[in-house]
Amino acid sequence: MPRRLDRDSTVYLLVPAGRNRPAGLGVKSRSIRASLWDARELRGAPVASPALTWATCARHLDVNELVVLGDALVATSTDYEGIVRPEQPPEGARTAPPLATLEELGEIARTWGNGVGGASLRAAVARVRAGVESPMETWTRLVIVAGGLPEPEVGVEVWNGSEFVGRVDLAYRAQKIAIEYEGDHHRTDKRQWRKDIGRVNRLQEIDWFAIRATTSQLWPTPTRFVEQVRAALSRATDGGGP
């Protein structure tokens, strides 16, 4: 969720249409028609399903923010920090079932109709991608597309024959261009830092070009970053290599 909502302590409640809507200090409630109602249980508490929760957030989030949230819901990587799953994945597991599927998000976006946020949901679900491992990976992809460039592939495994070189956040596979978002943990975690350097060096050895981005490259003005990606694509397209 966007950091601008961190200070919002409001409790949001959903009830099926026709039921009394609770009221109270710090509480906001809304009715959901029966065709959309989908309640689950999480650690003993009744909650809306992930897909329904995503849809109700359209009242508060813009399209890009809905894409970020949607990417998180369909993520299967246990490396995606902050996701609370109904069941803890086994120790050492690299993947876990997603909180929602692309099909579930697509279905609720279609059936939401002309309700508040309906158009935003339909625009967002077309841009949700499986395989993302952090919110900023999503944001990096959105920045690139907003700059008028082709959408890069998400979560690409790079191989050199039978040798696994590494997973990169985003890539133009045909042009051998890798794009990596580097959060603070890439800098402060010595093991991660060494792993990142080794992966980038190995990519360069097999003629891949790596572009690394941090928050300062993407916010508030990503123009130079987008132009770096554009230049790399242009060089590769012109036959001069990345």
pLDDT (tens digit per residue) in 88-105: 899 999 999 999 999 999
Residue 183's pLDDT is 73
The model's pLDDT over 55-84, given as tens digits with 9 standing for 90+, comes to: 999 999 999 999 999 999 999 999 999 998
**pLDDT over threshold 90, residue 240:** no
Q: What residues contact residue 109 under an 8 Å CB cut-off, 6+ apart?
A: 55, 118, 121, 122, 124, 125
Q: What residues contact residue 19 under an 8 Å CB cut-off, 6+ apart?
A: 31
Residue 172's pLDDT is 98
Query: Edge to edge, what strands does the sheet with 209-213 contain?
Result: 153-160, 163-172, 177-181, 209-213
Q: How far apart are CA 93 and CA 81, in angstroms?
A: 14
**pLDDT over threshold 60, residue 188:** no
Sign of CA dihedral 53, 58, 60, 63: positive
**pLDDT over threshold 60, residue 121:** yes
Residue 205's pLDDT is 96
- Whether 33 and 24 have beta carbons less than 8 Å apart is answered as no
Residue 19's pLDDT is 92
Cα 217 → chain centroid: 18
- Whether 60 and 5 have beta carbons less than 8 Å apart is answered as yes
Q: pLDDT confidence of 108, banded at 50, 70, 90?
A: very high
- Whether 151 and 67 have beta carbons less than 8 Å apart is answered as no
Question: What average pLDDT score do residues 22-33 get?
Answer: 93
Residue 238's pLDDT is 80
